Amino acid sequence: MKLTILGSGGAIPIPRPFCQCEICTKARKFGAPYKRNSSSLFIQDINTLIDCGEDIGNSLNKNSVENIDNLFITHWHPDHTFGLRSVLESNFNFKTNKADRTTNVYIPKKVFETLKKKFPVIEYYFDVQKTGILHLVEDEDKIEIGNFFITVVGYKGKESETYAFLIEKDNKKVLYASCDTIGFDNYKNYKNLDLLINECGLFSDISSEISFNDLMNRINEIKPKKTILTHIEELEVNKWGEKHFDKMKKEYSNINFEFAYDGMEIQV
């Protein structure tokens, strides 16, 4: 399977608007790998996108993505969903006043109930423009798309606020868990992974987020063949500096991991 990290940033992308720090200035000047859009993953073989932050249009254009047939949502947060307008309205023909194509949108039921309140225009795209077809899913549902299977993984079962997705093809397994994994109670069930794409965790000590050290311990427990760390926060890069990433690679040299960057292509 061929995967592309369209966006590797966190809640605040890099460069942060108005910020004139060294990190943001370098990102504006040179782009990737210093520039980081909101976290999203593209499965090339089946034109499938997981998550779409406000800057998803930029990510899609930069990576020459021509169409999105399927879109999966992990949770309602703006940096994962507010690009729905950009994706779905791109399916609409304003001359004929009809949709030229539609995107299958897979959203966990509980996430959709919250998303309707936070982003109420979403129902307009399904019910009026008809640029998207809504599929409500739950924990452990398995969706077949071509020769792929994508399993819905609730962090706390069917009552989850945040989800991961297990992507399978030809006995290869990739788990995409991009955010809020401090609440991922079931992570021990996902061993024998060919690839784990996981949020980076924080170097700073914030009780509501998983720490980088705790994440490394977790990865050491489930032992994926390889791990890629995404959802890298601007505040963390700004505070700790780019050299800290190299330091962590050396400190945890027993674990096969690397830090994601926008446009990163992965063959599994």
Segment 108-137, tens digit of pLDDT: 999 999 999 999 999 999 999 999 999 999
Q: How far apart are CA 257 and CA 212, in angstroms?
A: 12
DSSP letters for the chain: -EEEEEE-B-SS-BSPTT--SHHHHHHHHH-TTT-BPBPEEEEGGGTEEE---TTHHHHHHHTT----SEEE-S---HHHHTTHHHHHHTTEETTTTEES--EEEEEEHHHHHHHHHHSTTHHHIIIII--EEEEEE-TT-EEEETTEEEEEEEEEEET-SSEEEEEEETTEEEEEE-S-GGG-TTGGG--S-SEEEEE--BSS--TTS-BHHHHHHHHHHH--S-EEEE-B-HHHHHHH-THHHHHHHHHTTTS-EEE--TTEEEE-
- CATH code of residue 73: 3.60.15.10
Q: In this structure, how many other beta carbons lie within 10 angstroms of the beta carbon of residue 226?
A: 16
Q: Smallest Cα–Cα separation from 217: which of 245, 242, 181, 163?
A: 181
The count of domains in the chain is: 1
The rounded distance, in Å, linking the Cα atoms of 248 and 202 is: 12
Residue range(s) defining the domain that contains residue 168: 2-267
The pLDDT, as a whole number, for residue 208 is 94
Low-confidence ranges of the chain (pLDDT < 70): none
Q: Supply the mean pLDDT for the chain.
A: 96
Does the N-terminal peptide bond of residue 15 adopt cis geometry, omega within 30 degrees of 0?
Answer: yes
0.95 exceeded by pTM? yes
Tell me what pLDDT residue 63 has: 97
Alpha carbon separation from 160 to 53, 107, 118, 119, 125 (Å, rounded): 20, 12, 17, 19, 25
